Amino acid sequence: MEHTKLRNYLQRFSPLPDKDWDFFVSRLQQRVFHKKELILATGKVEQFVNFIDSGIIRYFIIEEEKDITFEIAFESSFATAYDSFLTRMPVRYSGEALTDTVLWSIGYDDLQEMYARTTVGDRIGRLAAEELYIRKNQRQMSFLKDGAEQRYKALMRDYPHLLQHVPLKYLASYIGITPQALSRIRAKLT
């Protein structure tokens, strides 16, 4: 079944009756992006909530010629400019595939219909949004309380495969340091 990862993810929040699942799947679009291809460009409105079936995505801004990665999303998780998706306002950042990436995407109107017409749609949507909020809040607290070395160790603990797929300059930006500082941390830890 080609939607297995997505169904397993959603069923963590609530049992998903076949009737609701069939309705949801009928609204999904598969979207494929190649490495380095933009998934969302600055100034555009996010049209989809995306589930990453395979691949890695980063969200970033360019500020004064500096590329700042502020989010990295991995296989079997959601990736979306949720603020833009909800408000229907353009984003001030971009999303890029770091590897070849396959997404299962649902559009705004289809998602609203799923919430209205299925027995568990609202519940799953709320719980998934809560999980995204918690993840974002934990990252924010890490920036306030942890040093760069602690943030790097946590990232490697939670996502050990990153070094194989994400350039070090993006990892450094993601944890809020320069590539040179990341090199020093890595040398210290080996």
Note the pTM of the prediction, 2 decimals.
0.87
pLDDT band at 34 (very low <50, low <70, confident <90, very high): very high
pLDDT digits (tens, 9 = 90+) for 119-148: 787 877 787 788 888 888 988 998 899 999
- Give the whole-angstrom CA distance, residue 42 versus residue 158: 29
| Least confident range of 38-52, 85-99, 167-181 | 167-181
pLDDT at 17: 84
Sign of the alpha-carbon torsion through 78, 83, 89, 90: negative
The most confident of the ranges 56-60, 75-79, 110-114, 173-177 is 56-60
- Give the whole-angstrom CA distance, residue 125 versus residue 108: 12
pLDDT over 90 percentage in the chain = 51
pLDDT at 145: 93
Give the chain's domains with CATH numbers: 4-119 (2.60.120.10)
Name the residue among 88, 91, 139 with its Cα closest to residue 111. Answer: 88
pLDDT band at 46 (very low <50, low <70, confident <90, very high): very high
Alpha helix (H) residue ranges in the chain: 4-10, 18-26, 82-87, 108-117, 121-145, 148-158, 162-165, 168-174, 179-189
DSSP tag of 45: P
Does the structure show a pLDDT above 60 at 13? yes
* Partners of residue 107 on adjacent β-strands: 48
